[in-house]
Amino acid sequence: MSRLRDAPAQPGFNGRYDPILVETAAKFPGVKVGKAKRHVPGRCREIKKSHTFETYPTTHFFSNGKLLLTREGVVEPAELAALISDHLLK
């Protein structure tokens, strides 16, 4: 999984979502924010094998290796921050 603290934006939906993830990662330095690239062979193989992706992007929230929740499509910054606060920082 690539870390997104300083990642450049990519075209398409991910291009719209990358800046949101970078901004969110900066607000929550204690939370790991990453991106599993679906078209890159060998990258994030275990995540791709373990979870289905019906919509791209799909945001998964994990804590201690356990999947807590999934959101399909782009999650706007305020909602993403609220989800992190509610589910990962309690």
Residue 27, domain CATH: 3.40.30
Give the pLDDT mean for 60-84. Answer: 91
Helix (H, G, I), strand (E, B) or coil at 62: strand
* Single pTM value for the model: 0.72
Assess contact for 33 and 26: CB atoms under 8 A.
Answer: no
Tell me the two tokens of residue 70: 């999934």
Q: Determine the structural domain holding residue 12 and report its residue range.
A: 2-87
Tally of domains in the chain: 1
Q: What is the pLDDT of residues 26-58, one digit of tens each?
A: 999 999 888 777 677 766 777 777 777 777 788
**So what's the pLDDT on residue 7?**
42
On average, the pLDDT of the chain sits at: 78
56 secondary structure, DSSP code: S
